[in-house]
A and B are shown apart, each in its own frame.
Chain A
Amino acid sequence: MTALLRTESLTAGYGAAPVLHEVDLDVNTGSITAVLGANGAGKTTLLRTLSGLLPATHGRVLLDGKDLRGVRVEEMVRRGVAHVPEGRGVVTELTVDENLRLGGLWRKDRADVRKAMTEVYELFEPLARRRKFPGHQLSGGERQLLALGRALVGRPRLLLLDEPSLGLAPKITAQIMTLLGTLRDRSGLTVLLVEQNVRGALAIADEAVVLALGRVVTRGTDIDDEMRHAYLGF
């Protein structure tokens, strides 16, 4: 297995004091890695640093073995990285359809963009019924679907998902988890999945990383009970 994404002593934060400390990660091509941790552990900060929204103060991020330093945020999507941010990912002033189109605007293959949009509408039924609705008229769960669907229109290789289950009914969450598993198995999609819904995430993840206070405290394919209790609280 080759690492699609790799971080080496990645350190980043919002002010003088770092939030992430020396994080080393290896995310293999075609795998799902769950990123777990309590509120404030630095999960969102990690994703923001990976996609370049937040500059690393130390260490580096490698995609396909290439250092991403100096690569602009708007360039990331062209390298196959889609970041679905926490919560407010939908442009609420734009319609459902416009949000989805936005996900494919950078692509040259217009026919495949249309095909991908059709697929998303088939996958996420509630969106298909609300194509002309402005984003602010969607429910929280519908917004999550839209943000995820919009990322899929770009046909990413690496999906950075920040709490996709937030506000979603358990049934839909389960559907999304299944969908991620299917995309991984069929098209080799790589996913970095930040989740509060630990059970759901671990059920499909190939690997898990637990963050606490901005450090990786445990990683592996099974999270042992002691860790589970100490850092995840159940």
Chain B
Amino acid sequence: MFLTFDGLSRGAVYAAFALALVLIWRATRIVNFAQGAMAVATAYAGFEVSAATGSYWLGFAVAIAAGLILGAVTERVVMRFVDHSSPLNGVVVALGLVLVIQGGLGMIFGSEFRPAEAPFSRDAFTVGGVALLSRFDLFVFAAVGIVVVLLALLFTRTHTGLRMRAAAFAPDVSRLLGVNVSGMLTLGWALAAAVGSLAGMLVLPTELGLHPNAMDIVFVSSFTAAVVGGLDSAIGSVLGGLIVGLLLSYVSGYLGATVAPIAVLILLVVVLLGRPGGLFSRSAARTV
């Protein structure tokens, strides 16, 4: 039971992080390998502000806002100029960005772990002697739930959401219809990076703490979640996140924590080989 709640709580974070990957993949056909490093960078900013002001929530807000800005800047300054003739180009640029960000963080903050405090107790409530979930887990569920709902509303109910979807699917046609495609792209990166930052703020307190590489494992899990969901599907990425979270939790609970990353890699390979369109894909997902 505890493992299930723990898995869902982790899974919610992976879901948010995978969702951010999917947002960018759908808009640009780039897997943003730099998303983990970007999230860590904004988390450093957030926790610095928290430490300086004594207010967790101010730091939390700063981290999210820094995500918005970093995402927009990354798109405007770097990703915009990626040549799309080969899919490898985006990967190489994103990996370059990882090195730059992680190197920069190491130089500024050093590479020892720094504490990343949680805003709520991480002690699990117990019901009849069985540990279930903590206040922090509830916070994670609420935060991710709100973000998922807000994004869904944005994309399905607002003019901007319609513009963003159109710009991602058919840029030239969208421009002919007056959509500022380049602006939508910047907005998409900003939102995705902010969601990534949120995921970072939610996961770092449960890990060893702040470190330039702190999100590397989370990235792998979330990337697996996104692939399980089919990379193109927002709902798929959320389900994928929960699946990966549960898998990790059960495997580390029953077989030991060291086996867990291997289980994730096995899942990734199995899905890529068996159902490259994602676990939930129908046989013909897309006709052009």
A interface, CB within 8 angstroms of B: 51, 53, 72-78, 82-83, 85, 88-94, 98, 101-103, 105-106, 136, 150, 154
Q: Is the CB of B169 within 8 A of A94?
A: yes
CB pair A94 B287 closer than 8 Å = no
Of residues 157 through 201 on chain B, the ones whose CB sits less than 8 Å from some CB of chain A are 159, 162-163, 165-166, 169-170, 172-181
- With beta carbons under 8 angstroms apart, the residue of B165, B175, B179, B288 that contacts A136 is B288
Interface residue? B286 (CB, 8 A): yes
**Residues of chain A lying within 8 A (CB to CB) of residue B177:** 77, 102-103, 105-106, 150, 154
A91 and B173 form a contact (CB under 8 A): yes
Contact check, B175 vs A93: say whether CB atoms are below 8 A apart: no
Residues of the B chain whose Cβ atoms lie less than 8 Å from the Cβ of A93: 165, 169
Nearest chain A CB to B209's CB is how many angstroms away?
A: 42
- Contacts A92-B169, A93-B169 given; indicate if A73 touches B162 (C-beta within 8 A): no
In the complex, besides A88-B173, A102-B174, A106-B179, 8 extra interface pairs with C-beta distance below 8 angstroms are: A82-B176, A91-B170, A92-B169, A92-B287, A98-B166, A102-B166, A103-B177, A105-B163
Q: Are B178 and A74 in contact (CB under 8 A)?
A: yes
Return the chain B residue nearest A92 by Cβ. B288
Chain A residues positioned under 8 Å from B166 (CB to CB): 91, 94, 98, 102
Asked if A89 meets B175 with Cβ closer than 8 Å, knowing A105-B159, A136-B288, the reply is no
Q: Tell whether, in the assembled complex, residue B169 and residue A102 are in contact, meaning their CB atoms are under 8 Å apart.
A: no
Kindly list chain A residues whose C-beta atoms are within 8 Å of the C-beta of B174. Answer: 91, 102
Residues of B within 8 A of A90 (CB): 173
Which one, B172, B176, B179, B181, contacts A105 given CB within 8 A? B179
Inter-chain contact A53/B172, CB cutoff 8 Å: yes
**Which of chain A's residues has its CB closest to B159's CB?**
A105
The one of A88, A89, A98, A136 in contact with B162, judged by C-beta atoms closer than 8 angstroms, is A98
Q: From A110, which residue of chain B is reached at the shortest CB distance?
A: B159
A77 close to B176 (CB less than 8 A):
yes
CB <8 Å contact, B172 and A106: no
CA separation between A82 and B286, bound complex, in Å? 28
| B286 CB to nearest A CB, Å | 7
Contacts of B179 in A (CB 8 A): 74, 102, 105-106
The residue from B163, B173, B178, B288 contacting A89, defined by CB atoms under 8 A apart: B173
CA distance A114 to B67 in the complex (A): 37
Of all chain B residues, which has the CB nearest A73?
Answer: B175
Q: A85 to B178, Cβ gap below 8 A? A: no
Contact between chains at A105 and B287 (CB < 8 Å): no
B157 CB to nearest chain A CB (Å)? 12
**Bound CA–CA A40/B135 (angstroms):** 67
A-B contact pairs, 7 of them (CB 8 A): A74-B176, A78-B178, A92-B169, A93-B165, A102-B163, A102-B179, A136-B287
Query: In the complex, A75 Cα to B166 Cα: how many Å?
Result: 17
**Interface of B with A (CB < 8 Å)?**
159, 162-163, 165-166, 169-170, 172-181, 286-288
Could you tell me the distance between the alpha carbons of A169 and B199 in the complex, rounded to whole angstroms? Answer: 53
* B165: chain A residues within 8 A (beta carbon): 91, 93-94, 98
Residues of chain B within 8 A (CB-CB) of A83 are 176
A22 CB to nearest chain B CB (Å): 25
For A51, list chain B residues within 8 Å (CB). Answer: 176
Please tell me which one of the listed residues B169, B181, B287 contacts residue A74 in the complex, with CB atoms under 8 A apart: B181
* Distance between B13 CB and nearest chain A CB, rounded to angstroms: 28
Give A101's nearest chain B residue, CB to CB.
Answer: B162
- State in angstroms the CA–CA spacing of A229 and B18 once bound together: 60
Q: Is A85's CB under 8 angstroms from B180's CB?
A: no
Contacts of A77 in B (CB 8 A): 176-178
CB-based nearest B residue for A93: B169
A89 and chain B: residue at smallest CB distance: B173
Task: State in angstroms the CA–CA spacing of A66 and B209 once bound together.
Answer: 61
List the 5 closest pairs (A to B, CB-CB), nearest first.
Answer: A106-B178, A77-B178, A73-B175, A91-B170, A93-B169
- B159: chain A residues at CB < 8 Å are 105
Which chain A residues lie closer than 8 Å to B173 at the CB level?
85, 88-91
* A105: chain B residues within 8 A (beta carbon): 159, 162-163, 177-179
A73 and B176 in contact, given A93-B165, A94-B165 (Cβ under 8 angstroms)? yes
Report chain A residues within 8 Å CB of B287: 92, 136
Given that A85-B173, A92-B288 are contacting pairs, would A74 and B180 also be in contact in the complex, using a CB cutoff of 8 Å? yes
Given the known inter-chain contacts A92-B288, A101-B162, A105-B159, please indicate yes or no for A85 contacting B172, CB distance below 8 A.
yes
| Chain B residue contacts of A73, Cβ below 8 A | 172, 175-176
Q: Which of B165, B172, B180, B286 has the most CB of A within 10 A?
A: B172
Residue of B nearest to A150 (CB): B177
